[in-house]
Structure 1
Amino acid sequence: MWMYLGLLAALFLGLHNLCKKHAVQGNEVFPVLLGTITSGFLLLLPFFIGSLYFPEYTKQIGFHITKIPWKTHGFIFIKSMIMTASWVLAYQALKHLPITIVTPIRSAGPFFTFIGAILIYQEKPNFLQWIGFFLIIFSVMLYSRIGKKEGIHFKSNKWIYAIIAATFLGASSGLYDKFLIQNVALNPQTLQFWFCWYTILILLVVLSVLWFPNSEKRKKFKWRWTILAVGVLLQTADYFYFKALQDPDALIMLLSAIKRSQILIAVLIGGFVFKEKNKRKKLVPLLGIMIGVFLILYSNT
């Protein structure tokens, strides 16, 4: 069951990536990011209020946000810091790079998660899983060659390093999620609500230094409906992902890889929506990534 929940998360993440590209294109990154997290927070806010005044009903429908100790708040705040740094880097990179380059690099995230799952959680991969992960990495390297034809040189382009750093931080957060869900025993909606709240606070501090004082940057900001859509789609994807993690049999390294199937939407649909170059050539490494994901998915069947 947890694998199917992972595929649902991948579906909503793929749609989230398309909306995110539209939201940041030619726009100010920081207020867009704040807007997306705020929209996700507002989506969850009725459940928080309902949990305070109608606890039995929210428990009945499965969306009760539980009271947690301050120590647990500290754990969630750490996740917020990690993901804020990851998102700031990723949004800046997405603003300057094609989505068909950014998304496959992000697909290397399962490799970092894979290593962490072995070292931290002692998850044991088999032969096919090893092949699957290295096939994903090799396919990402093929994307670097295609990127050069679009004027994107991987060694000298700072946005490439930004998206790689964002990918590493995102993978670290994924490993941390398993600790929060299984060890700290947080339910998905509780984790999502407080995570959004602390992320908003962190972003307000960042914007108060880098964006609010600059009138020229404020004028460049453009409100788009996709800003709201990004937040809603992300929280929906995270809900299915965290529900999958609640299963004690769920392997974080496999779940992380399953989520990479989102690139089908980003590359096949996003490439046409944003009219990006070399779409056919990008299908070759895309196929490699999908084969890698397939090997991981079916290695234990």
Structure 2
Amino acid sequence: MSWLVLSILSAVALGLYDVAKKAALQENAVLPVLFACSATGAFLVLPWGAVSLLAPEFALGLGIVVQALDLRGHLLVLAKAAIVTLSWTLTYFGLKHLPISLAAPVRASAPLFVLLGALALFREAPTAAQWAGIAVLFASYWGFSLLGRAEGIRFERNRWVWLLFAGTLVGAGSGLYDKHLLQSAALPPVTVQFWFTLDSTLLQGLLVGAFWWPRRSATTPFRWRAAILAVAVLLLLADYAYFRAVAIPGALISVVSIARRANVVISFGVGGLAFRERNRLPKAGALAGVILGVALLLA
């Protein structure tokens, strides 16, 4: 399967992941939700390690072989977990307080930072059609931001929007770091996903213990919801396709990142209806631009 197809599959899972994440966060404590999602994901990937240890040939057939890492490998993956934990913490707070039909497009600005970084660090060279797709996608994302004003959300003054942008910028750095992990350092995709999931759970548990638990009686309480399980499963599926895409030789991290941002289509369509958000028709125009941009990426 090509890296571009894997990127699109990852985008579909990410779109549903955003909807589940929004549902999990409604009237809920952010840090415990983040930890619960990661802990659930860790519980789901633990069998990968057990099968890899006890029945490696069977694990190979399933495509879930987890390899042991040396100290350097563990430190590399731990660094990724720290970057992503910071990004998720910022974006979870933003998503809780913003309509998903606006928050998802803000998150879609990540490819701008990834593209600039990829051009500077890896000297990537997208084709002319892919450049056109990138331009159309950026224009569409900007249109979404303008539509936010119709809902009383001025991006330049809203702290939740700024948190989303900050989390997106940090997340873009994670995208560039992924290429180093999977291509330069040549770490296997499933191995990275396994240890990353465990490391993220550990770091987010520390955040809960340090910042939420001591104040739990005076702040928003945590409520378990089925959406938390959905978040964990969808993230595992999205990351599985994504890590495999980036690990393929010749994969352009700038294009992979932008293709994944097509998740805004799912977030808009499903999330907008599920949460009964306003101005869906005007937003559909900007959404059409996203679809066109992705089509150009596939050309």
Q: How high is the TM-score relative to the length of structure 1?
A: 0.94
Q: Which AA in structure 2 matches 1:257? A: I
Q: Which AA in structure 1 matches 2:137? A: I
**Unmatched segments (≥5 aa) in structure 1:** none
Contact 1:28 1:217 in 2 (8 A): no
CA distance in 2, matches of 1:137, 1:112: 11
Q: Which AA in structure 2 matches 1:125? A: P
SS at match of 1:63: coil
Deviates more, 1:15-24 or 1:219-228: 219-228
Q: Offset at 1:250?
A: 1.3
The residue number in structure 1 matching 2:106 is: 105
CA RMSD of aligned residues (A): 1.5
The residue number in structure 2 matching 1:223 is: 224
Q: Offset at 1:217?
A: 5.2
CA distance in 2, matches of 1:281, 1:60: 47
Q: Which AA in structure 2 matches 1:290? A: I
1:133-185 CA-to-partner distances (Å, cap 9, x unmatched) read: 23323322222222112121111101111111111111111111111111222
The residue number in structure 2 matching 1:244 is: 245
1:161-218 CA-to-partner distances (Å, cap 9, x unmatched) read: 1111111111111111111111222222211111111111211221112111113257
The residue number in structure 2 matching 1:62 is: 63
The residue number in structure 1 matching 2:187 is: 186
SS at match of 2:134: helix
Q: Which AA in structure 1 matches 2:47? A: P
CA distance in 1, matches of 2:20, 2:171: 19
Q: Which AA in structure 1 matches 2:166? A: A
Q: Which AA in structure 2 matches 1:60? A: G
Contact 1:254 1:297 in 2 (8 A): no
Q: Offset at 1:253?
A: 1.2
Q: Offset at 1:282?
A: 0.6
The residue number in structure 2 matching 1:16 is: 17
Identity %: 39
1:4-34 CA-to-partner distances (Å, cap 9, x unmatched) read: 1111111111111111110001111101100
CA distance in 1, matches of 2:82, 2:69: 19
SS at match of 1:223: coil
The residue number in structure 2 matching 1:211 is: 212
SS at match of 1:234: helix
Contact 2:3 2:251 in 1 (8 A): yes
Q: 1:141 to 1:96 in 2, by over 3 A?
A: same
Deviates more, 1:152-161 or 1:284-293: 284-293
> What are the residue-to-residue correspondences of 1:1-301 with 2, within 5 Å?
1-216=2-217, 220-298=221-299
Q: Which AA in structure 1 matches 2:294? A: V
CA distance in 2, matches of 1:290, 1:85: 30
- Would you identify which runs of 4 or more consecutive aligned residues in structure 1 move more than 6 Å? none
SS at match of 2:187: coil
CA distance in 2, matches of 1:193, 1:54: 17
**Unmatched segments (≥5 aa) in structure 2:** none
Q: How high is the TM-score relative to the length of structure 2?
A: 0.95
The alignment of Structure 1 onto Structure 2 pairs a total of residues equal to 298
